[in-house]
């Protein structure tokens, strides 16, 4: 299809003020993307209020992820927060292990198969890699979930969610390398 810049611009709303067609770029393919919101404390202060505000953003975003065949089925959305050290200390103790000082451990989030044998195989592979990397496995935590509001399609493919806690090797001086 041969479209000149004028005909492409005519189809583009003025408020978008897109550049003209050039090279591989063609403004006719522009479209809105999924919503994103940011909430921060400029001084780096951690608070639950920031989490509440982030949840409010999620609720107010018209489109938070791909929609499925049911109104309650989609690919989900979430928030990214700093490491909740105080919370992790509480739940790790409940899970049967203690955490070292903040910055001396990491947490991995795993979406695992529901089948127990398959899940145990996946966990064993993760534990092997942790050892091979010279780190120490502290323990696993099963993340509580509530699926009452999920559609049947989502429920059928719902993973078993677990977190793994790993202690940083004392010889690993660089935090970024550990991460």
Please confirm, yes or no, whether 34 is among the known catalytic residues.
Answer: yes
Start-end of H helices in 36-168: 48-60, 85-94, 116-132, 152-157
* Look-up of token digits 């292990």: 97
Torsion of CA 123, 126, 131, 135, to 10 degrees: -110
The Cα 84–Cα 69 span in angstroms is: 35
Q: Taking the CB of residue 61, how many other CB atoms lie within 10 A of it?
A: 14
Strands (E), the chain: 105-112, 136-142, 160-167
Q: Taking the CB of residue 138, how many other CB atoms lie within 10 A of it?
A: 21
The Cα 102–Cα 105 span in angstroms is: 7
Active-site annotation holder among 34, 67, 69, 122: 34
Kindly give the pairing relationship between strand 160-167 and strand 105-112.
antiparallel
Q: Taking the CB of residue 35, how many other CB atoms lie within 10 A of it?
A: 14
Q: Would you please indicate which residues are annotated as catalytic (active-site) residues?
A: 34
């Amino acid at each position: 299809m041969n479209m000149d810049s004028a005909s492409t611009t005519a189809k583009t709303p003025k408020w978008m003020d897109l550049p003209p067609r050039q090279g591989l770029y063609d403004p006719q393919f522009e479209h809105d993307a999924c919503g994103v919101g940011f909430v921060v404390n400029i001084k780096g202060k951690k608070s639950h209020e920031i989490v509440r505000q982030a949840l409010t953003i999620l609720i107010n975003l018209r489109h938070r992820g791909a929609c499925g065949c049911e109104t309650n089925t989609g690919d989900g959305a979430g928030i990214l927060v700093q490491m909740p050290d105080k919370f992790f200390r509480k739940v790790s103790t409940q899970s049967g292990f203690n955490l070292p000082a903040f910055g001396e451990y990491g947490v991995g989030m795993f979406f695992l198969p529901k089948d127990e044998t398959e899940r145990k195989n996946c966990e064993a592979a993760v534990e092997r890699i942790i050892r091979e990397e010279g780190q120490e496995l502290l323990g696993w935590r099963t993340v509580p979930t509530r699926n009452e509001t999920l559609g049947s399609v989502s429920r059928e493919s719902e993973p078993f969610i677990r977190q793994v806690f790993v202690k940083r090797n004392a010889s690993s001086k660089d935090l970024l390398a550990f991460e």
